[in-house]
A and B are shown apart, each in its own frame.
Chain A
């Protein structure tokens, strides 16, 4: 009990004093995961729009595939990414392994099925009505798509946040491709795992608290956006 209290005590000191190490780890965590979600959305959003608004052969097959991909374990994605970017892999020349970019790539791949699937569900629900209304009021193709995105805005934001929450909390995969190198690729989750194993609880608890706060804030934003949306 005493060790927990003392760890908590020191953890608060670390957070309140804006400890440089804590700060840099949190910053890296956020920049990696936000970049991953951003890159993923560049692909997920158009794909979910296409799937929701256009009827074509194979549409259902793609939707089913994406839904199944959500169940792929993160470590499996980590392994595949590792094999691709390791020195002997097809993308080895880019020397991405154990860099933030390796983590970004793996996290983006992890987030894509989640964001696509959630966006698709939303767009499918409101899409048909918005599409018909926009077109019947004289929207061109692009104007219609823009209107659909605008109408589904809050639900799309929800999809991005869920994707972010998933990747920012990912440990094993991130460690595999990032290497958990201090000052380079050490993010919140990998740091917590390492420090705990070392028996150095202050930093672990401090990061754990921050991660908890992040989860809390994300949840509040989710509630707020869902309350505002349809």
Chain B
């Protein structure tokens, strides 16, 4: 089935929560809705799952507007849609009964078999008789996933499935979603403010800000070519700069103040002096102890001012060092962030205060107004 929202708006007590939302679900297997807390993700989910009504605009279920559906038809669609909420509510009964709930409502014949299978996938079969109220938030999230998945929905909405979870539980849920998605072959719509997650999952990504979808596209498009500074900042491209377009030695460059970086010539920025944003992903920066002779157009000497271990991946913050071609002393700091593996760090013997060369291709710099 497919769900399509057209010009959907929603307000609560005069406050506009959603504005002109156009979204179509059902084309891709995994869709990610990303945005900060309070962007309207949960409200949009409730409207798309028939839990709430839009203030204006229309939502179509397999082409029929929700306003024209009879209660029976609505129930029929609702039963093809699953929703796992951010803090799933557990019924005051056993884990088993919680998972069996939806199946019993439908008068399903194979309750026992399906519940056992669902609990097995989330690896909680051993606590099937435990009261669901005693579960940790990670376990509750897994039970909630199983509870929805055993109903074999055609579209499953997951609202911030990893929020409020410890890293280990988050990892388990993360793996589970992919496992279940492939097992039950369901279209997943996931709301998240976690970009790594969106990047890992999202075939199609929607960026929501203050109730508006400000960018939609494939994960590639959104993460590599964010179309606004908000999207860029939000997708945590790591390096977001503001600078002026200049032309130097026949090359189009971006003057960031301290250094000038070469970019791929953009016809739209031909007029020099235009102030633009540029993004550069940390994984596109190469670190070396010696100067590199390569095709990459940008290479600078930098001092390591910070290193952070984020689970095996090291985020290295570098400040360009003056005295090298392109570097000037008088300007404000322009730190660059690069990521390397822990092994690289150890092999190169990197430490804070050390100077290394950082190199990146002009084509990795994404420029937008």
Given A132-B85, A143-B105, verify A137-B151 contact (CB < 8 Å). Answer: yes
- Supply 27 A–B pairs (Cβ within 8 Å), ascending by A: A129-B89, A130-B89, A130-B91, A132-B46, A132-B85, A133-B85, A133-B89, A133-B91, A134-B101, A135-B78, A136-B51, A136-B78, A136-B82, A136-B83, A137-B82, A137-B147, A137-B148, A137-B151, A138-B78, A138-B79, A138-B105, A138-B151, A140-B75, A140-B105, A143-B105, A147-B101, A230-B133
B92 on the interface (CB 8 Å rule)?
A: yes
Cα-based distance from A60 to B79 in the complex (angstroms): 32
Tell whether, in the assembled complex, residue A151 and residue B75 are in contact, meaning their CB atoms are under 8 Å apart: no
Cα-based distance from A136 to B50 in the complex (angstroms): 9
Cα-based distance from A141 to B50 in the complex (angstroms): 13
A-side interface mostly: helix
Closest to B52 in A: A132
Residues of A within 8 A of B92 (CB): 151, 229-230
A15 on the interface (CB 8 Å rule)?
A: no
A161 on the interface (CB 8 Å rule)?
A: no
A139 on the interface (CB 8 Å rule)?
A: yes
Tell whether, in the assembled complex, residue B79 and residue A133 are in contact, meaning their CB atoms are under 8 Å apart: no
CB distance from A84 to the nearest CB of B (A): 40
Cβ contact of B102, chosen from A137, A141, A229, cutoff 8 A: A137
Closest to A230 in B: B92
Interface residues on B, range: 20 to 34
Q: 10 more A-B contacts (CB under 8 A) besides A133-B88, A137-B101, A138-B102? A: A132-B46, A132-B51, A135-B50, A136-B49, A136-B82, A137-B82, A137-B102, A138-B75, A140-B75, A151-B92
Chain A stretch 120-176: residues in CB contact (< 8 A) with chain B: 129-130, 132-141, 143, 147, 151
B15 on the interface (CB 8 Å rule)?
A: no
Cα-based distance from A151 to B71 in the complex (angstroms): 24
Cα-based distance from A143 to B102 in the complex (angstroms): 10
CB distance from A96 to the nearest CB of B (A): 42
Tell whether, in the assembled complex, residue B71 and residue A141 are in contact, meaning their CB atoms are under 8 Å apart: yes
B293 on the interface (CB 8 Å rule)?
A: no
What 9 A-B pairs come out closest when comparing CB atoms? A137-B102, A136-B83, A138-B79, A129-B89, A133-B89, A138-B102, A139-B105, A143-B105, A138-B105
Residues of A within 8 A of B271 (CB): none
Interface string of B119-144 (1 = CB under 8 A from A): 00000000000000100000000000
Closest to B76 in A: A138
B310 on the interface (CB 8 Å rule)?
A: no
Chain B stretch 67-83: residues in CB contact (< 8 A) with chain A: 71, 75, 78-79, 81-83
Closest to A229 in B: B92
Tell whether, in the assembled complex, residue B89 and residue A137 are in contact, meaning their CB atoms are under 8 Å apart: no
Residues of A within 8 A of B81 (CB): 136
CB distance from A54 to the nearest CB of B (A): 14
Closest to B133 in A: A230
Residues of A within 8 A of B148 (CB): 136-137
CB distance from B113 to the nearest CB of A (A): 18
Tell whether, in the assembled complex, residue B51 and residue A135 are in contact, meaning their CB atoms are under 8 Å apart: yes
Given A132-B51, A151-B92, verify A138-B106 contact (CB < 8 Å). Answer: yes
Cα-based distance from A137 to B151 in the complex (angstroms): 8
CB distance from B149 to the nearest CB of A (A): 11
Closest to A154 in B: B92
Residues of A within 8 A of B88 (CB): 133
Chain B stretch 229-253: residues in CB contact (< 8 A) with chain A: none
Cα-based distance from A147 to B91 in the complex (angstroms): 9
Closest to A147 in B: B91
CB distance from A158 to the nearest CB of B (A): 15
Residue among A133, A134, A137 with the most chain B CB within 10 A? A137
Residues of B within 8 A of A134 (CB): 101
Residues of A within 8 A of B71 (CB): 141
Closest to A143 in B: B105
Cα-based distance from A230 to B88 in the complex (angstroms): 15
Cα-based distance from A129 to B89 in the complex (angstroms): 6
Cα-based distance from A165 to B101 in the complex (angstroms): 35
Cα-based distance from A151 to B91 in the complex (angstroms): 7
CB distance from A140 to the nearest CB of B (A): 6
Chain B stretch 87-117: residues in CB contact (< 8 A) with chain A: 88-89, 91-92, 101-102, 105-106
Cα-based distance from A133 to B99 in the complex (angstroms): 12
Closest to A131 in B: B51
Residues of B within 8 A of A129 (CB): 89
CB distance from A91 to the nearest CB of B (A): 40
Residues of B within 8 A of A230 (CB): 92, 133
CB distance from A57 to the nearest CB of B (A): 15
Interface string of A74-92 (1 = CB under 8 A from B): 0000000000000000000
